[in-house]
Copies of this chain bind each other. A is one copy, B any other.
Amino acid sequence: MHGRGPWWQERFNQHCVRVTAAREVVINVLHETAEHLSATEIYMKAHAISPEIGLTTIYRTLELLEQMRIVQKFDFGDGQARFELLNNPGGKGHHHHLICVKCKKIIDYKDFINEEINCLGKTQEFLSEKYNFQINDHIVSFYGLCEECRGKKS
């Protein structure tokens, strides 16, 4: 069923985008950690593997991967974008977020995912048709204050 090469190869082909060393490194770095990495963090890890890769390329690659829906970009409010591989929404690694707006703490959760996925799935199907969108994935985030921050002033 599956072709040769990694799962994302096909996406590259669809988008007429070349598979380069830098892009493979970025995907591998994300695959190894897969948790909320910033562009700079990705750069440092990638740089450790292939020192010739520049920060600019990291940014360009991440933007590309985002548009190909291989990567999801997040803003948790701490001033820098963060990225996660999104190989299979609805699959194993998929999770949602619980975010403290004061200290920016983030909790990944998977509880009730089935019910949520079910419900979101219906919505996705509907929206996809109504607005003629090719929907690939979604973000669900809950916002509030964690225990420690609830006490604080200002």
Query: Hey, which bits of chain A sit against chain B, CB under 8 A?
Result: 15-17, 66-67, 69, 72-73, 75, 77, 81, 98, 100-102, 107, 109, 111-112, 115-116, 118-120, 122-124, 126-128, 130-147, 150, 153-154
Contact = CB atoms under 8 A, between A and B. Distances in A.
Ranked nearest first, the 8 interchain pairs of A and B with the lowest CB-CB distance are: A75-B75, A135-B144, A119-B119, A112-B123, A132-B147, A134-B145, A139-B141, A138-B142
Given A115-B122, A124-B142, A138-B143, A133 B100 contact: yes
A53 to B, nearest CB: 20
B126 A112 contact: yes
The A interface, classified by DSSP as helix, strand, loop or mixed, is mixed
